[in-house]
Amino acid sequence: MVQNFARGPLIVALRDTRLALGRGEAEKILVELA
Amino acid sequence: MNTPASSLTIALTGQPNVGKSTVFNVLTGLNQYVSNWPGKTCEQRIGSLSYAGHEIQIVDLPGTYCLTANSIEEQIARDYIIQGQPDVVAAVVDAASLERNLYLLAELLSLPSPLVLGLNRLDLAEQQGMRVEAHVLEAALGIPVIAMVASKGQGVRELLDASVRVANNPLEYQPKRPEIRADHKAVLGDIQTLIAGYVPEPYPPDWVASKLLEGDEEIARMMQAAMNDSANKTETAAGWQAVHALLMEHEDAFLAVASGRYEWIGRMVRAAVARPKPGRVTVTDRIDHFATHPFWGLLILLAALGMLFWLTYAVGTPVQAWLETHIVQAGARWVSASLAGAPVWLVGLLAQGIIAGVGTVLTLLPILIIFFIGLGLLEDLGYMARAAYVMDRYMHPMGLHGKSFLALFLGFGCNVPAVMGTRIIESPKARLLTILIAPLAPCTARLSVLALLVPIFFGPSAWWVTLVLIALPLSVMMLLGKGLHELALGGEHHAFIMELPLYQFPNLTEIGKGVWQRTIDFLQGAGTIILVVSVLMWGLSHFPGGEIEDSYLAALGRGLAPLGSLMGLDWQMMVALLTSFVRKENTIPTLAVLYGAGQGGASLASVLSGIIPPAAAFAFLAVQVLFVPCVATVGTMVEETKSWRWTLLSVGLLLVISLSVGILIYQAGRLTGWGM
């Protein structure tokens, strides 16, 4: 997680890419440690 | 005797924003042809060059993250590679985001066309503290890997050399392909066995089997149809059922396919990439700390857009005025003088119809070009994605995302670049919705009409009346956007997932080429419509009597007088509304001519304030700010939507909304006694 202001979209770093992600979409993503 | 040159086709592919277009432009220069892919609204670019005894055609495929046909761009890219069968596929990847970029390569390796890899933006990777070894990657992948910094022209010729070499020596092409995760190898084998013999040409059977496991709907439909169409329907129907049953049993197989690819990618990256120590703060990180902040980001955005507007009007407006005076008006005077003995209608048609129409297009160019340059700079810099991120939360009430804000904001200057600016929106429905509501942004032309008329009618109250008249179209924009999103466009919620690219120095050559292409697009498309409609409107305002007061337009205005009376407007004001369709500023000179301003020393202000009560004036101005867009905007809407139906829907809606609001305002004034 790069940035999360509790409202509005988030910024995450995935592998070598920075992504802006809508909050609704982020809530549907499950993260599992490999 | 000259040996005839052999021909080669190279397909250029890659994920979005990897510098693929830069490579294309460096290779092809001005020898490129732009059209649309057959049957699609996506742009197709084909260029050509002669090199090493070959006539080479370069096909620039749309940027795609993968080949799963979730979007038009992905469908076009994979259909072209499979069915177009280029001699070579040159995949351009971003060295600074190698892990993500190699996913597309992993898919491309499954297709029949030989590949070369252009490892671009090595300079950006170095800025991030990464070191990427092209020769190590080449040994690991088994395909040519060319180190490139395309923005500086480095490595592009070497990419071409490698492509020609691979095309001429197909037997030497020995790539190392990724495999499916081990626990699903048996399932893949079963699928391959079941579909053997039924895969239509030219699709590779192994690729089709993998796509079926990934849940690719288009490939599944193709195989179901192919197997059901086969001669022995009983056997093949059972065969497809077996395939379907296997796929249903292994619904999670797409994870195995993706995992296999990422395991392969991980091995490649570990071998070839040296990363900086964790915790390193890059330039992008430092800038984004402010650029993506909810408060500072908004300030930075407003400053950037404010600067763009300032530049546009500081530079563009004087150029516009010069063109108007020294080209358009001078041209009209020259025509009038040269054709002194010619029929009045002919002189009028040339001077006030055609030259004025051309003038409308010409005088828009300085504004458009500066907007295009500004947008190009912001986009190439990498800032546009941050702007969309900051504004995203404010666009949700209209069912839109942040990129729509950028286009709509441009509408405050001029609606034409606002409509053209929607090209940055990937979702077709979001783009269409933004185009439909963009004309509600109060452009400077409408604001100039307000600036002149509001003080005449409202004196010291002009400032708050102006605020209300600016807030009105913005409120209607939100409501109409929400309504169209739910009712006409299916109310679909589009996921907001957007890459934030690294910041980089803008490539001025690429920006220049983009500005040129957009300007040509505007002239060829919207420009033609603007010219035709301008001539038509001149005809309506000239014939049959030669003066606007006894023209067809005036007759139309008189015919609309009953409608106008509901808003407290006489026929002259209705005609002024009609002429604003050509240019919003036409309202003022039309009112001046029709009310005889200037005759007997009476100014327009004194004439209007003595005739029109405040309630009717407020209704008129409300209609002005909500009225149908100008012909330039309509022409651009037709060109960008490729649809008269949607354009006329927008125009029709604005007509109904503007007149309804005007009627409401005047009737409310009449009932309450305000402004009468």
Q: Which residue of A19, A22, A24 is in closest CB contact with B500?
A: A19
Are residues A18 and B98, on separate chains, in Cβ contact within 8 Å? no
Listed in sequence order, the residues at least 6 apart from B41 whose beta carbon sits closer than 8 Å to its beta carbon are B72, B428, B642
- Name the residue with tokens 């009028």: B348
- The answer to whether the beta carbons of residues B132 and B149 sit under 8 Å apart is no
Are residues A21 and B97, on separate chains, in Cβ contact within 8 Å? no
Distance CA B615, CA B422 (A): 37
Are residues B499 and A19, on separate chains, in Cβ contact within 8 Å? yes
The dihedral region occupied by A5, where left means phi > 0, alpha psi between -120 and 50, and beta the remainder, is alpha
Listed in sequence order, the residues at least 6 apart from B38 whose beta carbon sits closer than 8 Å to its beta carbon are none
DSSP B57: E
Residues B510-561 pLDDT 10s: 888 888 888 887 787 777 777 887 788 888 888 888 888 788 888 888 899 9
**Taken in order B464, B469, B470, B476, is the CA torsion positive or negative?**
positive
Helix/strand/coil percentages in chain A, nearest 5: 15, 30, 55
Listed in sequence order, the residues at least 6 apart from B498 whose beta carbon sits closer than 8 Å to its beta carbon are A19, A20, B385, B388, B389, B402, B403
- The answer to whether the beta carbons of residues B405 and B388 sit under 8 Å apart is yes
Listed in sequence order, the residues at least 6 apart from B165 whose beta carbon sits closer than 8 Å to its beta carbon are B144
Which pLDDT score, from 0 to 100, does residue B500 have? 86
Cis peptide before B544 (omega within 30 of 0): yes
Q: Which residue of A8, A17, A25 is in closest CB contact with B499?
A: A17
- The answer to whether the beta carbons of residues B496 and B401 sit under 8 Å apart is yes
Q: Where are the beta strands (DSSP E) in B188-244?
A: none
- Of the pLDDT bands very low, low, confident and very high (cuts 50, 70, 90), residue A18 is confident
Are residues B389 and A20, on separate chains, in Cβ contact within 8 Å? yes
Nearest to B11 by CA among B1, B24, B2, B22: B24
Distance CA B239, CA B217 (A): 18
Nearest to B658 by CA among B627, B635, B633: B627
Cis peptide before B202 (omega within 30 of 0): yes
Q: Which residue of A3, A7, A17 is in closest CB contact with B97?
A: A17
Tokens of B289: 């700390």
- The answer to whether the beta carbons of residues B419 and B534 sit under 8 Å apart is no
Distance CA B260, CA B302 (A): 45
Q: Residues of B with CB below 8 A from A5's CB?
A: 294
Which pLDDT score, from 0 to 100, does residue B118 have? 96
Residues B437-468 pLDDT 10s: 999 998 888 888 888 888 888 888 888 888 89
Tokens of A12: 């995450």
Nearest to B659 by CA among B600, B577, B584: B577
Residue B54: Cβ within 10 Å count: 19
Task: Please give the model's pTM, rounded to 2 decimal places.
Answer: 0.73
Are residues A25 and B292, on separate chains, in Cβ contact within 8 Å? no
- The answer to whether the beta carbons of residues B75 and B66 sit under 8 Å apart is no
Listed in sequence order, the residues at least 6 apart from B581 whose beta carbon sits closer than 8 Å to its beta carbon are B537, B628, B630, B631
Q: Residues of A with CB below 8 A from B292's CB?
A: 3, 11, 20
Q: Are strands B43-51 and B32-36 parallel, antiparallel or unpaired?
A: antiparallel
Are residues B292 and A3, on separate chains, in Cβ contact within 8 Å? yes
- Please name the residue of chain A whose CA is at the shortest distance from the CA of residue B259: A34
Query: What SS3 class is residue B117?
Result: strand
**Taken in order B226, B229, B230, B233, is the CA torsion positive or negative?**
positive
Q: Which residue of B97, B389, B495 is in closest CB contact with A16?
A: B97
Listed in sequence order, the residues at least 6 apart from B386 whose beta carbon sits closer than 8 Å to its beta carbon are B288, B291, B292, B297, B301, B500
Are residues A25 and B97, on separate chains, in Cβ contact within 8 Å? no
Distance CA B490, CA B140 (A): 47
Which pLDDT score, from 0 to 100, does residue B41 have? 58
* Residue percentage of chain A with pLDDT more than 70: 97
- Strands of A10-14's sheet in order across: A10-14, A17-21, B497-499
Ranges of residues in chain B whose predicted pLDDT is under 50? 1-4
- The answer to whether the beta carbons of residues B399 and B427 sit under 8 Å apart is no
Q: Which residue of A3, A11, A15 is in closest CB contact with B100?
A: A15
Distance CA B570, CA B443 (A): 26
Q: Which of B98, B497, B503 best tests the A interface by mutation, with the highest count of A CBs <10 A?
A: B497
Which pLDDT score, from 0 to 100, does residue B36 have? 64
Q: Are strands B32-36 and B115-120 parallel, antiparallel or unpaired?
A: unpaired
Q: Residues of A with CB below 8 A from B499's CB?
A: 17-20
